[in-house]
């Protein structure tokens, strides 16, 4: 092997190791990989950042923005609201949820579709006294299956479609080129999950209510400022700093009036009553150091923690949230936004550390308190996923029709090959912004910038895999293992399997970018058309069913359902086997060699 081939292999293995380790964000790792590849001559200087102008990157950006526009319009909310009333049969409920998330994921971002249906699934579980674990993993997997069916369903499809034109100068895969194989896999996958999910998924009860998840009923205490207290005239922030523990003032009452937005600057008077959150030991230390007294009732009634005008909501931390690796204390959530963090749950269990000191991770579920406007602002600001059922955004019929018309117009222009996808969908974005159906801020907020940076950085690196001849080396190895051209089905199956395993440990877009040149190399070495091999990579990159880290959808359901890492393989392994068994003959039938 040449120096360039050894260098690109070492560089990619290091990158994959850093992805798995997770200490550094994947977009930063990808950008560093690109720069190193450029410095050592694997990527020409003038081509280093051309990936950011790649049609796949532009298309992904446009689809993310259009997904936000459709969700804002309330189009899918209306359908979800109708499907939410399906009776109490768990099989029927799961079938309806799977149908809805699969259909939605075909046209909007996978995570967006999951975010829409998760509150519905959690509500179903709580209303019928069932564990959310019976619903949420099938829902996440359904979003992945739905993404396989169309060009815009998932970033790997967009990557593979554009790679087809770059490899041989042919037209990219069309909008519904993925549909025959993807739809068959979606149908078979749903059947498998309906048949076996209830038998293989854990039934972890005791996580159905926020009280059980966060133990909030033990930690709310009402105290009173007396004339003997040492804190009369002092501010709320000084109360919270009075002990080494984690005391949070979540309510303030004075002269019969209740203040719902408690700032750290509020001065206290005699007979003021404070609602504080903290462990029993922290509260005892607070009373001792400040001279505060417990009120007549040392525990708040249930309606205090959930009634108007203060709301308490559960939200999940997404992989792209700005909260990741930060703490509540560092963020100053209350002083900046008027929101209190009451509790944190991780992977279905309780975290014994104080909420303010916890470094958030993707999938954490946070219990937040504040007025409705403040909570909605924080949810949008930090890209959080609300788990409570929200009111439907029905709107007027006219407000629903126009975004839907623009979206389907872009699809028609793409299907008829009048415009390429990046032009058609970005044109739809511009039309929605100019028509004021979507603000510029909403458009920019909808973009998953880490994914954009990942794609822009990895595209030149993937080309380096091909230009150095490394992809051809790997292609020959796969062909040899699969016994050459006498077993094309085995070569395609092995390619799909390798891509699938890779997508379970790294981002699915990365898996598609790395395996696409290898797929083309295999096809060329066997003198076959490239389509079946590229399609195998597309399917494998979207079939991340074995781990919670393979896709954001898998990560998001982990804590609300109480799943452990090993639980994913219980349903994911049978589903992965079925995908391979069904996909290979379907690919060869739809895309002949």
- Which tens digit of pLDDT belongs to each residue from 501-533? 999 988 888 899 999 999 999 998 888 999 999
Residue 140 pLDDT exceeds 50: yes
- Which tens digit of pLDDT belongs to each residue from 391-440? 434 344 456 788 889 999 999 999 888 999 999 999 999 999 999 888 88
Scan for tokens 């194989």, then name that residue. Answer: 181
- Which tens digit of pLDDT belongs to each residue from 154-172? 999 999 998 888 767 778 8
**How does residue 565 score in pLDDT terms, banded at 50, 70 and 90?**
confident
What predicted TM-score, i.e. pTM, was given to this entire model? Answer: 0.76
Cα(487)–Cα(465) distance, integer angstroms: 26
Contacts of residues 403-406 at CB distance under 8 Å and 24 or more positions apart, as own/partner, are 403/69, 403/70, 403/73, 403/75, 403/432, 403/437, 403/438, 404/70, 404/73, 404/75, 406/431, 406/432, 406/435
Higher per-residue pLDDT: 363 or 40: 40
**How does residue 486 score in pLDDT terms, banded at 50, 70 and 90?**
low
Cα(339)–Cα(355) distance, integer angstroms: 13
Section 176-180 average pLDDT: 94
- Selection from 192, 334, 230 nearest residue 277 by Cα: 334
Higher per-residue pLDDT: 429 or 222: 429
Section 25-30 average pLDDT: 88
pLDDT score, position 79 = 59
**Token pair of 323 as six digits:** 């909260």
- Which tens digit of pLDDT belongs to each residue from 241-274? 776 666 777 777 887 777 666 666 777 888 888 8
**How does residue 347 score in pLDDT terms, banded at 50, 70 and 90?**
low
- Mind giving me the DSSP string for 423-462? HHHHHHHHHHHHTTSS-HHHHHHHS-HHHHHHHHHHHHHH
Residue 341 pLDDT exceeds 50: yes
Cα(249)–Cα(510) distance, integer angstroms: 45
């Amino acid at each position: 092997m040449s120096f360039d081939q050894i260098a690109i292999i070492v560089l990619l293995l290091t990158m994959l190791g850093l992805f798995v380790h997770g200490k550094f964000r994947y977009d930063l790792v990808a950008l560093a990989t690109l720069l190193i590849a450029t410095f050592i001559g694997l990527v020409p200087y003038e081509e280093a950042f051309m990936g950011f102008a790649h049609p796949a990157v532009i298309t992904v950006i446009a689809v993310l923005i259009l997904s936000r526009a459709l969700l804002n319009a309330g189009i899918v909310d209306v359908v979800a609201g109708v499907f939410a009333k399906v009776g109490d049969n768990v099989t029927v409920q799961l079938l309806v949820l799977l149908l809805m998330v699969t259909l939605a994921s075909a046209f909007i971002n996978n995570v967006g579709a999951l975010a829409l249906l998760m509150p519905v699934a959690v509500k179903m579980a709580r209303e019928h006294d069932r564990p959310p674990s019976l619903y949420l993993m099938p829902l996440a997997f359904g979003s992945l299956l739905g993404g396989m069916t169309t060009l815009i369903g998932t970033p790997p499809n967009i990557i593979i479609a554009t790679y087809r034109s770059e490899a041989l100068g042919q037209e990219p895969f069309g909008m519904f080129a993925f549909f025959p194989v993807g739809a068959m896999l979606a149908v078979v996958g749903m059947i498998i999950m309906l048949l076996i999910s209830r038998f293989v998924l854990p039934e972890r009860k005791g996580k159905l209510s926020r009280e059980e998840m966060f133990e909030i009923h033990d930690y709310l205490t009402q105290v009173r400022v007396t004339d003997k207290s040492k804190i009369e005239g002092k501010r709320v922030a000084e109360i919270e700093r009075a002990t080494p523990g984690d005391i949070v003032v979540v309510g303030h009452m004075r002269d019969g009036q209740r203040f719902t937005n408690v700032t750290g600057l509020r001065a206290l008077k005699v007979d003021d009553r404070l609602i504080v959150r903290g462990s029993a030991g922290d509260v005892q230390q607070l009373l001792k150091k400040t001279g505060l007294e417990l009120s007549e009732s040392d525990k708040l009634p249930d309606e205090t923690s959930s009634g108007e005008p203060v709301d308490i909501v559960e939200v999940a931390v997404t992989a792209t949230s700005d909260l990741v690796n930060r703490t509540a204390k560092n963020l100053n959530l209350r002083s900046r936004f008027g929101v209190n963090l009451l509790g944190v749950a991780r992977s279905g269990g309780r975290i014994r550390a104080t909420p303010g000191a916890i470094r958030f991770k993707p999938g954490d579920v946070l219990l937040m308190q504040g007025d409705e406007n403040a909570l909605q602002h924080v949810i949008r600001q930090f890209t959080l996923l609300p788990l409570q059922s929200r009111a439907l955004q029905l709107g007027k019929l006219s407000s629903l029709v126009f975004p839907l018309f623009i979206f389907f117009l872009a699809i028609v222009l793409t299907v008829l090959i009048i415009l390429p996808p990046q032009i058609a969908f970005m044109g739809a974005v511009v039309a929605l912004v100019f028509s004021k159906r979507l603000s510029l801020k909403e458009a920019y907020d909808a973009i998953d910038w880490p994914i954009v940076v990942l794609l822009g950085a990895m595209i030149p690196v993937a080309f380096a895999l091909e230009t150095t001849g490394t992809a051809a080396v790997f292609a020959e190895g796969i062909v040899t293992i699969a016994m050459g051209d006498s077993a094309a089905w085995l070569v395609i199956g092995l390619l799909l399997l390798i891509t699938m395993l890779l997508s379970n440990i790294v981002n699915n877009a990365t898996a598609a970018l790395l395996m696409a040149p290898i797929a083309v190399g295999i096809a060329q070495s066997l003198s076959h058309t490239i389509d079946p091999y590229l399609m195998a990579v597309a399917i494998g990159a979207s079939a991340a069913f074995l781990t919670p880290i393979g896709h954001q959808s898998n990560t998001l359901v982990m804590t609300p359902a109480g799943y452990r890492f090993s639980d994913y393989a219980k349903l994911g392994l049978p589903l992965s086997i079925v995908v391979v068994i069904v996909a290979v003959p379907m690919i060869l039938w739809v895309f002949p060699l």
